[in-house]
Structure 1
Amino acid sequence: MAILFDRISEYGPLADKLDFLIHPRIVRCWENPNIYAQHIRQMMALVNRVNRSFIVLTNVNVRLEIDYANFQQMELAACFIALKVYWKLSYYVDGISYLNEIEAHSHLMRRLCGVNDRDFKV
């Protein structure tokens, strides 16, 4: 993550489009809840750095690669709701090449907004 933050600082004044491909890890119920909290902190730090660093940014594309149709892996994408520019969220299931876009007023986006309110609001 530190290397990514360094690159964001370098390219911030120049880039107008960002593409993220994220493969979120599943946090199992028997694991320490601090692991999920650490992932939340890292994702929010990424979003805050993007909001601060990029001057001419107009578009952010976020793609999630999930292991199977699993909302738990999509929860970390809720942090991107805090982006100040236009962004698009899509996902695909590992092994299936079809890209599913999550529309702004879809059921999945409403669930992600709920996760954002629950986990990402400080």
Structure 2
Amino acid sequence: MPLILPLLLAVLLFCIGVYGVLARRNAITLLMSFELMLNAVNLNLVAFDAWRLDGLATGQTLAVFVITLAAAEIGLGLAIVLLLFRGHGHVDADAARDLVEQDATEQRKGAAT
């Protein structure tokens, strides 16, 4: 198989992930978009490893490392989303950013009095 086919698929996956990060407001959709981008990177790593034909399998080793990193990221991200939903009743990323700024402002006002 030519190298260009997996690379085009990886570019397509990465572009879909970037669109999801830039256009969506839901935190779950953001996490899924990050996963799509990481899977595109994994596809590139494995494709270049198969293309190089060395015996070290460095691309596959790095892909396993990226999968481990993605699992840790999704676990932490889902915990944050669950706490956000429990505390505020929504998972809107922009509103969560506004809530953090309001909480910090309220704490400053409470400390001043």
- TM-score, with length taken from structure 2: 0.28
From the two aligned structures, give the one with the greater strand fraction: 1
Question: Per residue, is there more helix in 1 or in 2?
Answer: 2
Q: Quick check: which has more Rg, 1 or 2?
A: 2
TM-score, scaled to structure 1: 0.26
